[in-house]
Structure 1
Amino acid sequence: MSEGFAVALALPQLAPLLILTFLSGMVYGFAGFGAALVFMPIASALIDPVLAIAAFALSALSSLFTLVPRAWGECDKTTTILMTLAATLTLPLGVWLLRVADPVLIRIAISALAALTLIVLIRGFRFSVRPGRTSSAAVAGAAGVMGGATGLLGPIVILFNLSSGDDARRIRANTLVFLTLGSLFVLPQMAAQSVLAPLAIWLGILMLPAYAFGGLAGRALFNPERERLYR
């Protein structure tokens, strides 16, 4: 493991990855989503996508201490737990796809999914289906596959939650808690399928403080009274 730490510390891409992690955490702290949309397309071009996904998932666990405690009190716990369970059931399929697919295809999928998500968010697209137990579970199940394969657990969930009638504070809390728990539960799946390398663990540990401080900075910028801006 100490060898993995030395390799992680010596990575030529470490500095840009740390800067990118901080910026991603800031976006996440503000919006409750978007960290992977910022991080994954660039990071997967700098390093192996499996390494990027695993390290980022580990660094995102800092939100369990910096962001989730407050968000947990604001989220819809029943729906969030249901969606987390549904995503957890499908994460193994996504991780399997990550393990067997060509890294070039994974990079293309990450970039395409991130670009498509940004386009539909900017254009104001929203699902016409109102959130319910069945639709919430179905959306989360699809998110689990996408998240396991590309590290982008959030896109379909973001659009789904923004379609609800909840206010900005509740939407942010629901999404933030779901995505953070997703980062927690994807790591055992990656370990079980032998794609959680020691280098990824050490790189994630090095990235963790940057994500934590970025998240706190983003949270300070969030103003629930500016509902229109958030949406």
Structure 2
Amino acid sequence: MELASVLLSPQTIATLAVGLIAGLIRGYTGFGGAIFAIPLLSLIYGPTSAVALVLAAGLVGTAQLMPGALPMATWRQIVPMVLVSLVFTPLGTWVLLTTDPDYVRRGLGLFVLVAAVTMMWGWSWQGPRTPLISGIVGAISGIVTGIGGIGGSVATLYLISSGQPVKVIRANLIIIIGALTIAGFVYLLLAGGILFDDLFKMLIYLPTYMAFIWIGARIFRGTSDALYRQVALWLLAAVGIIVTIW
């Protein structure tokens, strides 16, 4: 009876709903699953547990995608970014664990709103790609990963317009985001930010999220890509506004 009450609790149902929608978004568009989920999960469980869930989901994706990306990556370009990001990720984790959760939640909502608007406009970095700039991007990505588990969006905006073949850009992003995800999860675990209760939440969220990534990639094949991406971005913007002002 107690197990049934837990499984049918508003928190569990809300978590399943977030996993369902985030998975559909990620499965069709290839982006947006984590940044959709993180502000809503932070409303349900608080920012620390939300980050743990998002990073755990990212670990599964990393395990699936990393082996194929390794041979295609331009290591000379991404290694400095990865190394700098690994140095700064613990700073983000420290901010997450020491800052008022309400401030963190609203900050994550604002970040999601800005990210959605930026992607709507189609903006990406058009400036120089010097080691200094790459290092700054790596540092920001690491901090955002530590705070909210979504630092990969920063690296994406930087690398997406690099002029390299799409396969190379994709491989570079998989490795950078994978490194950020692993580092973020490990640092949060070592800092005591992942509790036993979070394991139960992962058992609820991860299967739903992963299943609907698979479903989303198939159900929406007949839908206009441009239309669906716009719907997904407007949905992200709405989530950002709601979580920022709630």
TM-score (norm 1): 0.80
Aligned to 2:122: 124
Aligned to 1:75: 73
Alignment-mate amino acid for residue 95 of structure 1: T
Bigger relative CO (Cα 8 Å, ≥ 6 apart): 1
Structure number having the greater helix percentage: 2
Alignment-mate amino acid for residue 81 of structure 2: M
Q: 1:163 to 1:110 in 2, by over 3 A?
A: same
What's the CA shift string for 1:70-127, capped at 9, x where partnerless? 3444433443443222211111100100111111101110010000011111112222
Determine if the alignment matches structure 1 residue 142 to structure 2 residue 147. no
After superposition, where does 1:155-166 map in structure 2 within 5 Å? 155-166=153-164
Structure 1 unaligned residues grouped into runs of 5+: none
Moved more, 174-183 or 49-58: 174-183
Cα contact 2:93–2:188 (8 A) shared by 1: yes
Cα contact 1:109–1:150 (8 A) shared by 2: no
Aligned to 2:193: 195
Counterparts of 2:67 and 2:24, CA distance in 1: 17
Determine if the alignment matches structure 1 residue 207 to structure 2 residue 205. yes
Cα contact 2:149–2:184 (8 A) shared by 1: no
Counterparts of 1:16 and 1:170, CA distance in 2: 37
Q: 1:137 to 1:145 in 2, by over 3 A?
A: same
Counterparts of 2:111 and 2:99, CA distance in 1: 16
Counterparts of 2:5 and 2:133, CA distance in 1: 44
Cα contact 1:8–1:199 (8 A) shared by 2: no
Cα contact 2:152–2:180 (8 A) shared by 1: no
% of aligned pairs identical? 22
Q: 1:186 to 1:96 in 2, by over 3 A?
A: same
Aligned to 1:50: 48
Structure 2 unaligned residues grouped into runs of 5+: 230-246
**Alignment RMSD (CA, Å):** 3.1
Cα contact 1:37–1:152 (8 A) shared by 2: yes
Counterparts of 1:144 and 1:134, CA distance in 2: 15
Q: 1:207 to 1:49 in 2, by over 3 A?
A: same
Alignment-mate amino acid for residue 41 of structure 2: A
After superposition, where does 1:90-101 map in structure 2 within 5 Å? 90-101=88-99
Counterparts of 1:30 and 1:73, CA distance in 2: 25
Identify which of 40, 62, 65 aligns with 1:64. 62
Moved more, 87-96 or 18-27: 18-27
TM-score (norm 2): 0.76
What's the CA shift string for 1:148-196, capped at 9, x where partnerless? 1122212321211123112433333322332233221112211222211
Counterparts of 2:71 and 2:5, CA distance in 1: 40
